[in-house]
Structure 1
């Protein structure tokens, strides 16, 4: 059921959202109504397409999956998996949506973006061993023999009246106009269902196809998606790149040095670092510099504690660092009392800043 959501004016000027195609921007707003009051939902393209576009047949599950992947690469949407089921959520949901009477959460939190909430949820919902194989029929259901002398209405000239049914025989009515003849190798003394794949009479004369457990048509659980693991994504082979690992390890080390629990470097971390380097055009030095700056800033160190968050906030970090650098340069030129410094005073100040920076680099 769709829900009422708020749209902030900042959405119109968002750098990330404005880089998407128009249909993805529209879908992003509709997706808020699909997610629950905590910004989470089942990652099922068919459910999302039917909820967000109930009257648009052209919006197929494949189109929805492509749009979700576009938003996930940019950061506003996170796709994750818990106990073999796929979910998605908006990491910045609390900043933009504040439901007055939130309902009971039914979707598990994201282990990467909501570690505390996930630990609480995991304590109340221990992991269960799920059988991911597709269930099937262990054998063909045998038809219970009719009482002796029972009469069945004739269908296509078939009449069983007065004939003794054979125990354990299964009749496949493939052709209503055909005559049914019991197999000669089945006797009335056989025990029913000795072998579920035997005693099958095929009216066409061809051997009956035997169904194995692997061939059964299992039911698809809501939220589960089976993908071919052999068709790996192109970037999965680069998950252990040296530059990606260096950036991820530096952020994890600095977060730990600031007094927080050392975060786990997950695949989402590596994907975010790789996209910053390859897609966003950032150099490794720029990424490392942004990590050091945000972890040294009292405000940003508590807001950027994961690599996906760093990527989504990179432009804001760059502008904030530039603003503070310009303010420091202006203060150095005028002095603390607003008086214009002489050339000698500026040189002394610059030398002191250089010595402090070199000392900080040696300590690292």
Structure 2
């Protein structure tokens, strides 16, 4: 049954919303109404399309599936299947929908199923694997192909190298002026990277985006450092979230969702360990010593 939900003014200016066609912006709002009090909803295409666009007779199921894929891309909605049935989960739900008397979840959570891309109906792992294979089979473009166009475009910058020399100079200048990251910012990033490697992932590059998001997590979001370290431990030991939290920007985006799910799993807050040293599966004393 559809429910009354809150639409904040900030939604219309959300990053990336300008890349969506108007009907898919409305689709995301309709998915709020369609979701239960935990931000989960049925994602059966025909049923959801009938709810969101009951009078749009010209819309096809294929077009609607592409729209769901766009919603997934921009708003990071998680689409997943449990026992052959399709569902979705809105990660930002807890931040934007305040419900005084929340009812029990009506639908299974994403941790109980397999994530898929609604635009292709393929499991995410399989789609990423096929994408990597296609990329590997595509021969790299030559230098002349990168500079295709007019002669002025190919030679813009210094010398015949186009913009490459300028970009390298800018990067060099930026690296000289950028201040070093604070120790706690670097530790958050390094900790997540280390646990990802421990889970069998390729070692991620800790770049400016990672460091900026970790700094904003502490300074703008006012998150406690020890609590953030503990939450990194929890999500990287969780069978679902360790395959979905693979960057510091994603960790910051999903922070409240992770925190609430950990509370639901571990019981009352006073019974939870609050020090990351108490909950980690690694020897943090050795880790700290090696990164001082």
Give the TM-score normalised by the residue count of structure 1: 0.39
Structure holding more helix per residue? 2
Pick the structure with greater CA Rg.
1
**Per chain length, whose mean CA-contact separation is higher, i.e. which structure has more relative contact order (CA < 8 Å, sep 6+)?**
2
